[in-house]
Structure 1
Amino acid sequence: MTAPAEVVLRPLRESDAERMALLHVAVWEEAYGGLMAPEILAARRASLDERVAGWRNAAASSLAATTVAEHDGDLVGFVSVGPGRDEDLDLEVELWALYARAAWWGRGLGHRMLTHALAARASYLWVLDGNERATGFYRRQGFVADGTERHEPEGRELRMVRR
């Protein structure tokens, strides 16, 4: 079994756009397959060209810093951290995204990516209600639900903070 230490963490590059679009769709399918409507996931897969353009733009000019996890030439995860977007919260840093392929779950890669991107900084994130695997992971990293929720097309999301 490959150890997370053998995975290279590096900044997102514009040349990663196509692989990032495919990775992003795949990790959503793996993470949310039983938690959201199949048509939402199908629509994401059907819009790959738009996703490639979005990742190319993100690499060139996003407010978030995205780090990819690469193993043997394959992208196996990513983490994006940027300025907080919630006006009702006094935290300046938001974890915009943290995903790893299912084959890497439980092997320490998520922790490594989170530590790389945030260290111990106070921050917050949104997690899909019912995603117990992710919620448990974030709790182990010091995040707690603050009672705030929002409703998105994908489902109800809960905010978690770490101070």
Structure 2
Amino acid sequence: MRIPPLYRNPVWQRFFAGAAIGGCISWMIFLYMFGVMQERNGYLIEKQAKEIKTLQNQIIIWQEDYRELNKKNEEMLTIQKIDVRLIGYEKYNIKDRQSIFNVEESIKEDLKSLLAKDLSTVYKNKDIVKKTIENKNENINGKKYKFIVKEMYFYTTINITVELRLAG
């Protein structure tokens, strides 16, 4: 079997020459289009990388500012309210709620100097606060009572639970 001698026919020669030249031209067009597209994408990626870097730097700056503000706010926490709860008055048959309220208000009045003070300062002086309450004696229905601090919680509100005992 042999190949037909079409290479001698000028029509076929022009066809193959045109196909070869067309393939070269289309390859050149493809390379140009691909290069332009890659250049555009490369520029876009570079632009986005710069933008990401600047945004990350901004995030770091914002986080540092946020931490500093949180530290300042923690330092600036102050006592807003004092809440006193009296317990143990039931075993002494004190049923007069007005007397219990007056005792709670009396303790709050003694501690009102703590209002608007820095939280850390008040917490450092918690023993003084405790002694202030425990050294206080009150008359309720003609009997003297003393106080024992059971619980103290410090935040913007000081919560104090005080137990009532007979002074002896």
* TM-score for both structures, normalised by structure 1: 0.21
* TM-score for both structures, normalised by structure 2: 0.21
Greater helix share, 1 or 2? 2
Larger radius of gyration: 2
